Amino acid sequence: MKVKISPSRARGQTAAPPSKSMAHRLLIAAGLSRGESRIRNIAYSEDVLATISCLRALGARIWQEGDMVLVRGMDPTKAGKAILPCRECGSTLRFFLPIALLSEKPKTLTGSEKLLSRPLGVYEALMQERGLPYQKDKTSVTVQGPLRPGIFEVAGNISSQFISGLLFALPLLAEDSEIRILPPVESRPYIDLTLSALKDFGIRTVFEDNRILIPGGQTYQPRDMKVEGDYSNAAFLEALNLVGGEVAVTGLRKDSLQGDRIYHQHFAALEKGFAAIDLGDCPDLGPVLMAAAAALHGAHFTGTRRLAMKESDRGEAMALELAKFGIQVQRTEDTITIRPGNIQMPKESLDSHNDHRIAMALCVLCTKTGGLIDGAEAVKKSFPDFYKVLSSLGIEVEYVVD
């Protein structure tokens, strides 16, 4: 799908979309509970639907009623042979793989070739150490438990999702376990989000000195929870203010544990002048911050290595697309520099690279210059109503049929 954005100024007020990160965590905790839970304020993005599908595959019963999901939990230790459709969601794949190991029956987690090309070596190494079967091909990975309690060493600079996946599963083992995170620890806020969800559902953990102690023999307790607003996607809406808009975003918790809440500070730095920003704890903000830097005074980003491990190689993708706006980008293995310049209307179509955050970042710039974005449907992964929200704020959005 192609979307044409005409130069236009965003004005108005809109609510932040529900947090995809918290929706994953609350739904999984509900699925692991003995009883019925209600999770409210759900947005049915492709990623959230993947998590719901995987819970159903393991035996949870789920009913969708508007933006509320009723979950009747299951016992993953008794789950039979199953196929878990992860679609294109890295969080779903990495969260469910340890859960799939709780029973002795084989589980196959499926997904796109792009998804299965993303790093899984942390789990593969852990399973080899424990003598557990692990078989991977271009579109699936098949594993088999049962997982035993013990000490799990995980590198802290690859993805926090591996740690979160273990955190969901280990409390259900008979005895205590420990996760030792090898420094440096990146994306710590995402670990905190998982620990918060576990606590909400009655699970005890102790996190100190890069060690997480997880008592065994615990039981998830059903809860009635509401998904908070999403700072990650709200950033794209507030970025409209950096290119001439007047947008107020509501529904964001000031005491949120979401690491991407830091975008307010980064936006302020970018408005002042050429900024130096570390993306180590907020890689999902990379595309929108690079777009903002291109529209303002440029910036030097560090901690960009992990951008290559997302839905696209986000550093490379943004460099290619910003060049179409006349902006120069310099890259090294772990840095990206956006050179100051005046963005101009692209003379050719822009490409989302099948990445929701690239598509939304390009839209922000196109409200200033105009432009045509190919692969615009990528936003369905996390923010399916994105173009509808843009239209409600006065942005001229046109769907182009080939």
User: Any idea which residue has 């050429």 for tokens?
Assistant: 274
Reduced to 3 states (helix: H, G, I; strand: E, B; else coil), residue 109 is: strand
Q: How many whole angstroms separate alpha carbon 91 and alpha carbon 101?
A: 17
Question: Each residue of 76-115: pLDDT tens digit?
Answer: 999 999 999 999 999 999 999 999 999 999 999 999 999 9
CA atoms within 13 A on the CB side of 52: 19
Question: Residue 186: its pLDDT value, please?
Answer: 82
> Residue range 290-316: average pLDDT?
94
Question: Residue 62: its pLDDT value, please?
Answer: 98
Could you give all domains of the chain from N- to C-terminal order, each with its CATH number?
A: 2-17+229-400 (3.65.10.10), 20-217 (3.65.10.10)
Question: Residue 34: its pLDDT value, please?
Answer: 92
Question: Each residue of 309-330: pLDDT tens digit?
Answer: 888 999 999 999 999 999 999 9
208 contact partners, CB below 8 Å, separation of at least 6: none
Question: Residue 187: its pLDDT value, please?
Answer: 84
Q: Cis before residue 384, ω within 30 degrees of 0?
A: no
Structure tokens belonging to residue 285: 């903000």
Q: Cis before residue 184, ω within 30 degrees of 0?
A: yes
Higher-scoring residue by pLDDT: 118, 63: 63
Position 401 pLDDT exceeds 90: no
Q: What is the DSSP letter of 173?
A: S
Question: Residue 305: its pLDDT value, please?
Answer: 92
Phi, psi at residue 376, to the nearest 5°?
A: -65, -20
Reduced to 3 states (helix: H, G, I; strand: E, B; else coil), residue 129 is: helix
Give me the amino acid identity at 66.
Answer: G
Q: How many whole angstroms separate alpha carbon 366 and alpha carbon 360?
A: 10
Q: How many whole angstroms separate alpha carbon 198 and alpha carbon 159?
A: 19
- CB 304 within 8 Å of CB 281: no
Position 230 pLDDT exceeds 90: yes
Question: Which ranges constitute the DSSP H helices of 220-355?
Answer: 231-238, 263-272, 286-295, 314-324
The two most distant CA atoms of the chain are separated, in Å, by 62
Position 229 pLDDT exceeds 90: yes
Position 402 pLDDT exceeds 80: no
* Confidence band, pLDDT 50/70/90 cuts, at residue 282: very high
Question: Residue 157: its pLDDT value, please?
Answer: 86
pTM, 2 dp: 0.93
Q: What is the DSSP letter of 223?
A: -
Question: Residue 159: its pLDDT value, please?
Answer: 87
Q: Given strand 140-143, what is the order of strands in its sheet?
A: 82-85, 107-110, 140-143, 134-136
Ranges assigned E (strand) in 161-227:
177-182, 206-208, 211-214, 224-226
Tally: H helices and E strands in the chain: 13, 22
Q: How many whole angstroms separate alpha carbon 99 and alpha carbon 89?
A: 16
CA 108 to chain centre: 22
**Taking all residues of the chain, what is their mean pLDDT, rounded to a whole number?**
96
Residue whose C-alpha is closest to residue 194's, from 216, 173, 176, 179: 179
Reduced to 3 states (helix: H, G, I; strand: E, B; else coil), residue 137 is: coil
Q: How many whole angstroms separate alpha carbon 353 and alpha carbon 317?
A: 7
Phi, psi at residue 85, to the nearest 5°?
A: -85, 105
Reduced to 3 states (helix: H, G, I; strand: E, B; else coil), residue 267 is: helix
* Confidence band, pLDDT 50/70/90 cuts, at residue 175: very high
Q: Could you list the active site residues? A: 284
Q: How many whole angstroms separate alpha carbon 115 and alpha carbon 95?
A: 14
Question: Each residue of 202-214: pLDDT tens digit?
Answer: 999 999 999 999 9
Q: How many whole angstroms separate alpha carbon 162 and alpha carbon 180?
A: 12
Burial of 347 (0-12, 13-18, 19+ CB in 10 A): exposed
> Residue range 197-206: average pLDDT?
98
Element (H, E) at 49: helix 46-57
- CB 98 within 8 Å of CB 168: yes
Residue whose C-alpha is closest to residue 361's, from 307, 280, 309: 307
Other CB atoms within 10 Å distance of the CB of residue 183 = 9
> Residue range 16-29: average pLDDT?
97
Question: Each residue of 52-85: pLDDT tens digit?
Answer: 999 999 999 999 999 999 999 999 999 999 999 9
Question: Residue 397: its pLDDT value, please?
Answer: 97
* SS3 letters across 240-271: HHHHCCEEEEECCCCCCCCHHHHHHHHHHHHH
Position 226 pLDDT exceeds 90: yes
* Confidence band, pLDDT 50/70/90 cuts, at residue 341: very high
